Structure 1
Amino acid sequence: MPGGDMAKPLLDCLKAYGDQSSPTSVGTAVGILGSGDFARSLATRLVDSGFKVIVGSRNPKRSMNLFPPSAEVMPQADAVKKADVIFVAVFRDHYTTLCELTDLLAGKILVDVSNNTEINHHKESNAEYLASLFPQCTIVKGFNVISAWTLQCGPRDGNKQVLISCDTQEAKAAVATIARTMGFLPVDMGSLYAAREIENVPLRLLPFWRIPFLLALSLFICFYIYNFVRSVLHPFLIEHKNKFYKIPIELVNVTLPCVAYVMLSLVYLPGVLAASFQLYYGTKYRRFPDWLDQWLQHRKQIGLVSFFCAAMHAVYSLCLPMRRSSRYLLLNDAFKQISAGKENAWVDEEVWRMEVYVSFGIIALGLLSLLAVTSLPSIGNTLNWKEFSFIQSKLGFAALLVSTLHTLTFGWRRAFDGTQYKFYLPPTYTLTLLVPCAIILAKVVLVLPCVSRKLLRIRRGWEKGKYAEYNLSNTTTPSYEYSHGEGTSIV
């Protein structure tokens, strides 16, 4: 198979790290049992990191061309004799095929990299099951949260953390050293019992996104129904006009900015509540309620959902003139103008309103884009603390202010027009202004010198009812000055 596709690396990104045809592997010997995709990626990364890689395969001749040239591919029995740390890169169902190597594996460190297909599929973790089959070996759980892409391309293109658990500190340290040499960040998760949680990590589908997604979906449904009643049902029942054509695009376009605006305000509301909580109790050492703590932890996801809705609103708005219904309405208005003998339909107030309204919308979307980009770990890690805080806190609040101006210019004088209240229901944008305006007023109060100074003292360790002020650097209690402070951020 020298010319076959399987003889090539899984990913072409290896070229970015230089020629891998003849690496020099003169370091510590590391064994791998298995010849699948993950084993190949692992072997490539180990070789690139300077390790001597020994691969144990049931069919060495067939597997030899799948691995880097410097990796030694041999029968499993011969491979386990040459390495003290061995990666078990086989599925749980195939663990029993290794039982014939029990005597040879005695005293070795086995690193279990397997995952299940379902969360909590078995009572015990795969690592614990492997430990029961090989009681004379030291089992370490690790590298299961690292993908084949990350292994071949290096930590800069994927997750850098390697979660490790083991009952023996020495074995855990040995695997952590290997991970660190490969360029990853080892994280000690405790005893082997923690492997149950580690194996569930790759199987969770966006765990931090569930609440923001459900919140956005609920807001979308509520605003959509509200807009449907006002824009479609009211004309149908009262004016006997069929405007159901608005359902696919126009109603969605009116609903998306409402969701984006409210979600953005929900990013900064918990910071105001946290500051009020600290001011009320006069201390930063009192634990926040669980609901507030969870809210603070989901701000990044809430902010990104807000950006997504705002971006979709911009796309929908650009598509509005392309609709056939828009062209018909434009022709009808032109015909009415000609029939009425009206030569010029220009209205300066409406022109200026739309110009300012669109301008504020573009600025708000630009600020949200900057917040979303800096939320990416690869970008955020390049910023120092002051830069990151300025973008996420100051510019984030500026995005909320500009979005408020965008909404106000959209409403203009129509908020005071009685014909805009269909079924006595106010326009949708008036409802979305309630929470953001309350947050802006609260922020103004918090920046007042008499309030901001007291809040700053509390965050530096001062407590109500005590005369001593504590130095923040001498306390062992975690500070919520950033995560739960006044200047909240999307991240």
Structure 2
Amino acid sequence: MEMSEKATFGENDHKRETICIFGTGDFGRSLGMRLLQSGHPVIFGSRNPQNSTLLPSGAQVLTHAEALKECKIIFLALHRENYDFLLALSNLLDGKVLVDVSNNLRMNQYPESNAQYLSQLLPKAIVVKGFNTVSAWALQSGSLDASNQVFVCGDDDKSKQQVMDVARSLGLTPLDRGSLQAAKEIENYPLQLFPMWRLPLAIAFGLTVFFFVYCVVIDVIHPYVTKNSDVSYKLAISVPNRIFPNVSLILLSLVYLPGVIAAFIQLQRGTKYKRFPDWLDRWMLCRKQLGLVALAYAFLHVLYTFIIPTRISVRWRWIHSMIEESKLGHVTLLLCTAHAALFGWNRFLQSKWYRWGLPQAYMLGIVIPCVVLVLKLIQITPCVDRKIIRIRQGWERIPKTKQALV
């Protein structure tokens, strides 16, 4: 008898929340299938419960009113134009958590967000915005080749946490975006073109313009002004082939710099259970895109290297580009930086290479990579590395005020 009671208790302890879904389209069916695979009982609310042949097996199909009596969390996989039917069910929605997953056809289509409109329509319900950035395909494929981030916002912290727990149970990564005021921004995300590429492309463009102007000044304008020598032909090949490796090397270092900064922040805080600053979060989210842009610049460097007559330095550049295309992480960065330093080892102390007092472009290109390598060297020293590993395994530093109380 005791064993039977313990077994029942264990089963109930791990039982997942029953989820209701209004909407039997592609997204609603995909969400229901994923919830069932994760162990959640699923109930579909439908105007016609008998017509349920397309719904995933294992899900229960009831009328809207019957489904609301069984569940506390309801996912609305509906368009904004279809919200009106919920008014007839308002007495059953008192205290229920409504998860609005809708999107619009264009950015800022309405004065208020769909979630805010829903909250005004049903003031007794608790509206949470979320799951609108996850596609039906991503739910069906288990987030393979798709982002697993779920942006969530809402005015009730407890309800918002419940929705985030559902997201985690599906293997997704919920990100708290604050109050329901953020819903309009979240609804615009799916309509933005390559949002994670904007920052990397902006950085690459800025670096390209800077190095182009810089190289033109020291390689084209300086000879013309001082020696009346026209070397404008360099604009076609030589100048771009100075730009590409420098930009590529800096972008490669920017891939690893946020991870190093994050480690030092955790060291200073003595815990991993605090959010990083927003700018660092954003930076870390686009590291893959930074790496791909760096690879593209390295590839351009390879193409331009084929055009230049083969010299010893060109062979070194070819090796440099091949290293950059590998996946050796910090070793790649170290070798690339070492190559750039060796390439101009005899120019650092010779004043003739400092035209108008300006250093060569590659000298500027290795500044950030050297900073990253120095910080990483500090980080991998045994005493620092052991502490970082402990923090990332869950250890927390106890503040002195709490130590005194203990």
TM-score, structure 2 normalization = 0.64
Cα distance between partner residues in 1 of 2:175 and 2:297: 41
Q: 1:411 aligns with which of 344, 359, 369?
A: 344
Report the equivalent of 1:53.
43
In structure 2, the partner of 1:336 is: none
d(CA) in 1 for partners of 2:96 and 2:285? Answer: 43
Q: Does the CA-based 8 Å contact 1:37-1:148 persist in structure 2?
A: yes
Matches within 5 A, 1:69-468: 69-71=57-59, 76=64, 80=68, 85-103=73-91, 105=93, 108-116=96-104, 125-154=113-142, 158-159=147-148, 161=150, 163=152, 165=154, 167=156, 169=158, 175=163, 178-179=166-167, 181-184=169-172, 194-198=179-183, 200-201=185-186, 203-204=188-189, 213-229=201-217, 238-240=228-230, 243=233, 246-247=235-236, 251-264=239-252, 284=268, 300=284, 307-320=291-304, 351=312, 358-366=318-326, 369-371=327-329, 396=330, 398-411=331-344, 413=346, 427-434=360-367
Shift of 1:308: 3.6
Contact 1:55/1:71 (CA < 8 Å) preserved in 2? no
Cα distance, 1:257–1:81 mapped onto 2, change above 3 Å: same
Give the Cα–Cα distance (whole angstroms) in 1 for the partners of residues 296 and 139 of structure 2: 35
* TM superposition shift of 1:110: 3.0
1:182 CA displacement: 4.1
Matches of 2:30 and 2:62 in 1, distance apart?
A: 18
Q: Supply the AA of the counterpart residue of 1:94.
A: N
Structure 2 counterpart SS, 1:243: helix
User: Which of 9, 16, 33 does residue 44 from structure 1 map onto?
Assistant: 33
Is the Cα–Cα contact under 8 Å of residues 164 and 186 in structure 1 kept in the other structure?
no
CA distance in 2, matches of 1:78, 1:174: 22
Judge conservation of contact 1:263–1:306 (CA < 8 Å) in 2: yes
> Following TM superposition, by how much is the alpha carbon of 1:136 offset from its aligned partner in structure 2, in angstroms?
4.1
| Inter-partner Cα distance in structure 2 for 1:130 and 1:38 | 19
For structure 2, the residue ranges without an aligned partner over 5 or more in a row are 1-14, 270-275, 389-394, 402-406
Q: Partners of 2:86 and 2:184 in 1: how far apart?
A: 21
SS in 1 for 2:291: helix
Deviations 1:63-100 (A, max 9, x none): 74443255455665665566554322212232124323
Judged with a 3 Å threshold, the aligned counterparts in structure 2 of structure 1 residues 48 and 118 are, in CA distance, closer, same or farther, namely same
Deviation at 1:30, TM superposition (A): 4.0
Structure 1 length-normalised TM: 0.55
CA deviation after TM superposition for structure 1 residue 45, in Å: 1.9
Amino acid at match of 2:303: C
CA-CA distance at 1:429 after TM superposition: 1.9
Provide Cα deviations, 1:208-262, integer angstroms capped at 9, x if missing partner.
7655543432221011123344556678894456627x53x65433212112334
* Residue pair 2:36, 2:58 contacting (<8 A) in 1 also: yes
1:56/1:232 CA distance change after superposition, 3 Å: farther
Aligned letter for 1:197?
A
- SS where residue 102 of structure 2 aligns? coil
Corresponding position of 2:399: 475
1: CA distance, partners of 2:28 / 2:79: 11
Alpha carbons 1:160, 1:185 under 8 Å: kept: yes
Cα drift, residue 428 of structure 1: 2.2
Whichever of the two has the greater Rg, that structure is 1
Q: Distance in 2 between matches of 1:35 and 1:184?
A: 22
- Confirm or deny: 8 A CA contact 1:80 1:105 kept in the other structure: yes
Aligned CA distance change for structure 1 residues 168 and 161 (closer, same or farther; 3 Å) = closer
What is the number of equivalent residue pairs in this alignment?
369
Contact 1:358 1:406 survives alignment (8 Å): no
Whichever residue aligns with residue 195 of structure 1, its letter is L
Query: RMSD of the alignment, in Å?
Result: 5.3
Q: Is the 8 A contact 1:260 1:305 kept in 2?
A: no
Identity %: 33
Distance 1:294 1:180 in 2: 21
Change (3 A) 1:34 1:86: same
Q: 2 CA distance for matches of 1:437 and 1:213?
A: 23
Alpha-carbon displacement from aligned partner over 1:370-408 (angstroms, at most 9, x marks no partner): 43xxxxxxxxxxxxxxxxxxxxxxxx3x44432232113
| Cα distance in structure 1, aligned partners of 2:164 and 2:294 | 43
Distance 1:224 1:175, change over 3 A: closer
